[in-house]
Amino acid sequence: MSDSPYFFKPWLRLICACFLGTGPATTNTDGPPVEKGPFRAPELVELKELDPGLRFDVRYATANNFLGRSVYPQARVFMQKPAAAAVVRAHARLKPYGYGLLIFDGYRPWTVTKLFWESVSKDKRPFLADPKEGSRHNRGCAVDLSLYDLKTGLEVAMPSQYDEMTERAYPDYPGGTAESRRLRGLLRKVMEAEGFSVYKTEWWHFDYKNWREYAILDLPFSAIKP
Q: Give CA–CA dist 190/196, Å, rounded.
A: 9
Q: DSSP states of 48-84 as a string? A: GGT-TT-EE--GGGSS-STTSS---SS---EEEHHHH
Catalytic one among 35, 155, 164, 202? 202
Is 202 catalytic? The answer is yes
Calpha distance 211→103 (Å, rounded): 19
| Coil, strand or helix at 173 | coil
**Parallel, antiparallel, or unpaired: how do β-strands 55-56 and 99-105 relate?**
parallel
Sort strands 44-46 and 78-80 into parallel, antiparallel or unpaired. antiparallel
What does each C-alpha distance from 75 to 57, 60, 107 come to in angstroms?
Answer: 8, 8, 12
CA angle, corner 222, sides to 106 and 146, nearest 5? Answer: 20
Catalytic sites, residue numbers: 202
